[in-house]
Amino acid sequence: MNALTPETTPAIEISQLTTRFGKHVVHADLDLLVHQGEIFALVGGSGSGKSTLLREIILLQQPASGSIKVLGVDLENISDTAALALRQRWGVMFQSGGLFGSLTIRENVGLPLREHSGLADPLIDEIADWKLAMTGLEPSVGAQYPSELSGGMMKRASLARALALDPELLFLDEPTSGLDPESAEEIDQLIKKLRDLFGLGIVIITHDLDLLWQVADRVGVLADGKVQGLGSMAELAHLDHPAVRKFFDGPRGRAAQSGVK
């Protein structure tokens, strides 16, 4: 992992963030720092605000108050032009895949390039095939449609599209959910490979205990409106907060910890 130095701008810097839906408070003065070049996992129970926080970070929702900076850019009152430029510096892999069913996989992966690059279609198709290859998919997959892919292939295709614009930062929403153990392990290894090859900062929302132990450099545990635990899984193992303990206690937690390589 790239160490944070005084000269390094954090990938994400959140300060005193508050989010409300009516009278319901989701985040209360939440603080969080994500370093460049690290694999950071965000976890928490249902209703803890993980997905809401992700939506706020990627400019799909605004908090009630507080500050969010992404790649050094303050999101408060950001102009449309600046927001567009910032969105081109990150890639998002949605939990459902988010691929357009009427487009081939090659067309799906090339869509961000067609919208933002001005490149010719033949070159975009070549780049799309390269991105698919990066995620372990054969060139023939590019001619298929999303409905023709397995769950694991759909995840890889969605990841290829997230990589289309050579982002500095990746957001992965439940990248291994619904996959069999072998496919999930392959996605785990792919995430680590992408970070190591390209120095990407990667933020993952997940419930996958194996991913937390095997892939994440640091983990943030959301509960009661704040980050209640922050550190490596080995460091979090010593905390007594109930929201943290559920990732270590019980058969699944112990099995994931025993499988650490």
Q: In the prediction, which pLDDT does 47 show?
A: 84
The whole-angstrom separation of Cα 5 and Cα 211 is 27
Residue numbers of the chain with a pLDDT score lower than 50: 1-7
Q: If residue 202 lies in a helix (H) or strand (E), which one and from where to where?
A: strand 201-205
Instruction: Give just the sign of the alpha carbon dihedral 120, 122, 125, 131.
Output: negative
Contact call for residues 129 and 142 (beta carbons, < 8 A): yes
Q: In the prediction, which pLDDT does 254 show?
A: 55
Q: In the prediction, which pLDDT does 259 show?
A: 58
**30: which strand partners?**
17
CA end-to-end distance (rounded Å), the chain: 17
Q: In the prediction, which pLDDT does 251 show?
A: 56
Contacts of 105-109 spanning 24+ positions with Cβ under 8 A = 105/132, 105/137, 105/141, 105/142, 105/143, 105/144, 105/145, 105/146, 105/149, 105/157, 106/132, 106/142, 106/143, 108/146, 108/157, 108/161, 109/142, 109/157, 109/160, 109/161, 109/164
Q: In the prediction, which pLDDT does 98 show?
A: 86
Q: In the prediction, which pLDDT does 261 show?
A: 56
Contact call for residues 251 and 245 (beta carbons, < 8 A): no
Q: In the prediction, which pLDDT does 139 show?
A: 87
Nearest to 146 by CA among 195, 97, 77: 97
Q: In the prediction, which pLDDT does 222 show?
A: 94
The whole-angstrom separation of Cα 198 and Cα 193 is 8
* 155-188 pLDDT, tens digit each: 999 999 999 999 999 999 999 988 888 889 999 9
Q: In the prediction, which pLDDT does 4 show?
A: 43
Assign residue 30 a region (left: φ > 0; alpha: ψ between -120 and 50; beta: otherwise). beta
Q: In the prediction, which pLDDT does 246 show?
A: 83
Q: In the prediction, which pLDDT does 1 show?
A: 43
Q: How do 218-223 and 226-231 pair as beta strands?
A: antiparallel
